[in-house]
Amino acid sequence: MKLSIIIPAYNEKNTIEEIIRRIKTVNLSGIEKEIIVVDDGSKDGTREILQRIAGIRYIFHEKNLGKGGAMKTGFKNATGDILIPQDADLEYDPNDYSAMIAPILRGETEVTNGVRIQPANDPRRATLSYWFHWFGNNAITWTTNWLYWNNAGEYEGCYKAFTKKLADSIPVKTNNFDFDNELFCKILKRGYKIVDVPIKYYPRDYERGKKINWKHGFLILWTIIKTRFID
Predicted TM-score (pTM) above 0.85: yes
Block means of pLDDT (10 residues each) for the chain, length 231 residues? 98 98 96 98 97 98 97 98 97 98 98 94 83 92 98 97 98 97 98 97 68 82 97 81
pLDDT at 129 (0 to 100): 85
Q: Are 68 and 212 in contact (CB under 8 A)?
A: no
Q: Which residues, other chains included, contact 202 with Cβ-Cβ below 8 Å and sequence gap of 6+?
A: 90, 91, 92, 93, 119
Sheet holding 82-85, edge to edge: 57-61, 32-40, 2-9, 82-85, 160-163, 111-117, 194-200
pLDDT at 208 (0 to 100): 54
pLDDT at 125 (0 to 100): 80
The tens digit of pLDDT for each residue in 93-146 reads: 999 999 999 999 999 999 999 999 988 888 888 888 888 888 999 999 999 999
Domains plus CATH for the chain? 2-229 (3.90.550.10)
Angle between helices 179-189 and 128-148 (to 10 degrees): 20
In the chain, what is the straight-line distance between the N-terminal and C-terminal CA atoms, in Å? Answer: 33
φ, ψ at 129 (rounded to 5°): -60, -40
pLDDT at 124 (0 to 100): 83
